[in-house]
Amino acid sequence: MSDIPITAYKCKKCGKIHYPFHDRCLKCKAREFESIHPAGRAKLLTFTQIFNLPWGFDERFLIIGIGEFENGVKAMGQIKAEDIAGLKLGMKMTPTWAPVRKVQGESVHGLVFELA
């Protein structure tokens, strides 16, 4: 989705995608990259549930996961689900950019995956 304000970096030499940015490609050590953005839906690669949240979260727990977008970008975000019982590795998720918490009354936005 083009409205997700995340920038990943694709090595111009070997094509490895990096997110976040690295000074050198982790695969071939090259230093030239092209900027790319997540595209399409995301496939759930892994997830966990966090119960001991830092200050500023009103929820009892969070479910976070790593999703791989259709163009190969991998990113971590919150998963909008009641519990982990319905989650399965490989399932498709719809990415959004949405408020994830409030700090001093201001909304902080981040990557949120909604189950498809």
Do 61 and 98 contact (CB within 8 A), yes or no? Answer: no
Share of the chain residues as helix, strand and coil, in percent rounded to the nearest 5: 5, 50, 50
pLDDT in tens, 89-111: 999 999 999 998 888 889 889 99
Rg for the chain, CA atoms, rounded: 16
Pairing of strands 106-115, 92-103: antiparallel
pTM comes to 0.88
**Quick check: 63 pLDDT over 50?**
yes
The pLDDT of residue 83: 92
Identify the CA nearest to 34 among candidates 57, 18, 11.
Answer: 11
Domain 39-115: CATH class, spelled out: mainly beta
